[in-house]
Every structure is written in C-alpha cells, then in structure tokens.
Amino acid sequence: MKRTNRILALILALVMALALAACGNGAGTGNTPSTTAPETSAPETTAPETTAPSTGDKDYGDYSAENPLELKLSHFAGNDTNQLAQLAIAFERIVEEKTGGAVDVVIYGGGVLGNDRESFESVIAGTLDMAVNNTPIISNYDEIFQVLDLPYLFQDYDHINAFLASDICQQLLDSLTSTGARMLCMQAVGFRNMDMCTGPVKTPADIAGTKIRVTDSPIYRAQYEAWGANPQIIAGPEVLTALQQGTIDGCDNVHNVQYADRYYEFAKYISITEHAVHFNGLTINNALFEGLSADLQADILAAAQEAAAERTEALRVENDELLATMESEGAVVTKDVDKQSFIDAVQPLYEDFTANHSAGSYVEQIQALAG
C-alpha cells in the first residue's frame, strides 16, 4: 500500500508540474483574455501616428521635433485680441502643425522686443528672427510699399483679395529682401476709418486744423495735409494716452484696433471714411530664411500664407461685429460720409505719385484688379 501511495503521489506531483508549466507558458485556456488584450489596445498606441503630420519624406536639415528650429516672433500689440497678435498666434499654430513640431515659434508680445519700427530693424539686422510689421512702417525702408498707403486705392474686399492673390503683391513681397528682411505674407486688416474726439466727419472741412495721429508713412502724412488736418506721428502703444490727455483730437484705424485698444472710449465719433486699407504681415530675417532647407522654407512660407488668408477673412467679419459692439457701448457712428470730397482733395497727391514715384506704375495696375 505504501508503495502504491508513493507511486500515486509521484503521478500527482508530475501532473501538477505539467499544469504549472502550462500556466507559465500562457497555454491555459484561462489565460486567453490576457494574451488577446494587447491586440485590442494596439490601435490606441498607433492612433497618434496616423493623425500627426507626415514629414518623413521632407528634408528639414538639422531640425526635427526632437531638435526644433526656434523662431522668436515679436509684435507690439498690448493684448491678444489685437490683429497683430492674432496673426502671430495663427502662424504659430499652423507652422507647428505643418512641420510636426520641427519649428517652435516663441511669441513675444506687448512690444517687449521693440515697437513696429524697432522690431523691423531688428529683423533686418538678424538680432530678431521674426516680427509682425505694418506696411506703412515698412514703406520707410522700401518705398515701393508706399503705393498701398494711397487713399481710396481699393474699392472693396473683392478688390483687396484680387490684389493679395496677384503677381503685383508678390513683386512687393520679393522687393523687400533687398533690405535684409523678407515678408512671408500680407494680411488685410481692413479699411481705416476716422475716430475723433471733436465730432462726426463727413467732409475734409470737418477735420481742418485738427491734430490727428497717423501711422509713420509719408503718404499718410501727405493725404491728411491735403485734407487740411495736422498729422501727428505717434507710436501705436502711445495713442490711447494721447487721446486721454487731449494731445491729439483723433486718429484713424480699423475697427479691430479701435476696439482692442479702446480708442472709442475717448474718440467716440467713428466716421466710416474707409479711406485706406491697412496691411501688415510676417517678416523674417532673409539670411536666416535662405539658410534653411528648401522643404522647411516651403512649409514656413505656406504656413504664413495660410495664417494671413485665414486672418484676412476673419477680420472682414470681426470688423463689422466690433463696430456694432462699439456703437452699443456708446460710440457715435457716422456712415453718410462724402467720400468723393476726400477723393477730390487728394488728386494732386495721386498725380504726383504716378508721375514721380518709383512705384507709380503700380497704381493703375492695382486699380485694374477691381472687378
């Protein structure tokens, strides 16, 4: 009996050892859920790869998501609702998505790296990578851009968009590289209108003798002088203080800036003169840009152009909405402006520009783009 019991014990031990071995190898039927679980979770681990931009076939040189190209981008807007900030933010989002993180844009707002003129000069010098700059400021460095400051050059948004898509616009962008900076894109911020402390404006007689802040452009100064006003060159961030203190009687700008910078709280008379279209864009140091691979140049350029197109259309809608908001908050809006009286007063300016300016030939070309 003892021998029989020992044999039975040996057999039982052998069976248990075989069972344990089977469990260790994952061969038991009770292990089926754990062996199949990784297969069901596999799509979750691969999903990010299917949604991320594919840059594997592009040559970015030394740059990648692990070693990104950092671009310091400056604007002087005091808040993120301003159109300068919005263009920078849109570009940051689009270029980082388009390059899969191989470009890292770092935005410095509020003018901490300089005002409009200072930041543009830094881009030219290469001490700053990028900036959002206004074309009236740029026109002091490349006078071909002065053509865009001419009053009543553009009729409507269809005309504006036709220009932005034209070879003429590209010629202006290409021209800037001679300064050491390159303009990647141009956005239309909208039509400039007059914001006055003194009262509504319907004809040039209503601003005769008034002190009006204008952007630093020789054409802007000349047109206001033709209308009988006394133009004042004041940096953008200082305009609100000048209005508060009565240093100036008014200013002009698009509704986005009027609202974002709160001009209408002191210059409550907004007259829809639509006397000029305000443009700005993203500038980059040209040597930096040309030192990048062709694929990286192409994606940075495409991102900038997409951002500008996106913001141009958004501003078209926003400006109308913001005008209504300002009116609801106490602004006095005048729409029955005698635009022809303003146009007639600047005809000598047009004639002189067309005959004597290096960009004079562009006037008729841009006008011909109107539908």
- CATH number at 219 reads 3.40.190.170
The answer to whether position 293 is within a domain reads: yes
Cα–Cα nearest to 225, from 214, 235, 236, 234: 214
**What angle is formed at CA 119 by the lines to CA 84 and CA 70, rounded to 5 degrees?**
80
The answer to whether position 165 is within a domain reads: yes
The values of phi and psi at residue 302, to 5°, are -65, -40
pLDDT in tens, 231-240: 999 988 899 9
Predicted TM-score (pTM) of the model is 0.81
Residue 55, pLDDT score: 62
The answer to whether position 43 is within a domain reads: no
Cβ(168)–Cβ(362) below 8 Å = yes
Cβ(112)–Cβ(237) below 8 Å = no
Residue 79, pLDDT score: 87
H or E segment at 108?
Answer: strand 103-108
Beta strands of 286-340 (E only): which ranges? 332-334
Residues 6 or more apart in contact with residue 10 via CB below 8 angstroms:
none
CA atoms within 13 A on the CB side of 54: 2
The answer to whether position 178 is within a domain reads: yes
> Residue 201 is part of which domain span?
69-367
The answer to whether position 25 is within a domain reads: no
Residue 47: band (very low, low, confident or very high) from pLDDT cuts 50, 70, 90? very low
Give the separation between CA 125 and CA 371, rounded to whole angstroms. Answer: 40
- Percentage of the chain with pLDDT > 70? 85
Residue 57, pLDDT score: 87
pLDDT in tens, 114-171: 999 999 999 999 999 999 999 999 999 999 999 999 999 999 999 999 999 999 999 9
The answer to whether position 54 is within a domain reads: no
Residue with tokens 């152009």: 305
pLDDT in tens, 294-349: 999 999 999 999 999 999 999 999 999 999 999 999 999 999 999 999 999 999 99
The answer to whether position 313 is within a domain reads: yes
Backbone CA torsion sign across 310, 111, 272, 136: negative
Name the 3-class secondary structure at 13: helix
How is residue 46 annotated by DSSP?
A: H
Cβ(169)–Cβ(365) below 8 Å = no
Q: How far is CA 95 from the centre of its chain?
A: 12
Q: Token pair for residue 216? A: 């630093």
Residue 259: band (very low, low, confident or very high) from pLDDT cuts 50, 70, 90? very high
**For residues 283-306, b (16+ Cβ closer than 10 Å) or e, as one string?**
bbbbebbeebeebbeebbbebbbb
pLDDT in tens, 277-297: 999 999 999 999 999 999 999
Quote the number of domains for the chain. 1
Cβ(295)–Cβ(59) below 8 Å = yes
Residue with tokens 């865009």: 148
* Res 183 pLDDT > 70: yes
Give the separation between CA 264 and CA 242, rounded to whole angstroms. Answer: 13
H or E segment at 19?
Answer: helix 2-24
The answer to whether position 319 is within a domain reads: yes
* Res 15 pLDDT > 50: no
How large is the average pLDDT for residues 240-252?
96
User: What separation in angstroms does the CA of 266 have from each of 131, 141, 159, 171, 290?
Assistant: 29, 33, 33, 40, 46
Virtual torsion, Cα 304, 107, 191, 215, nearest 10 deg: -120
**Total residues found in the chain within this entry:** 371
- Count of CB atoms situated within 10 Å of the CB of 99: 24
* Res 33 pLDDT > 50: no
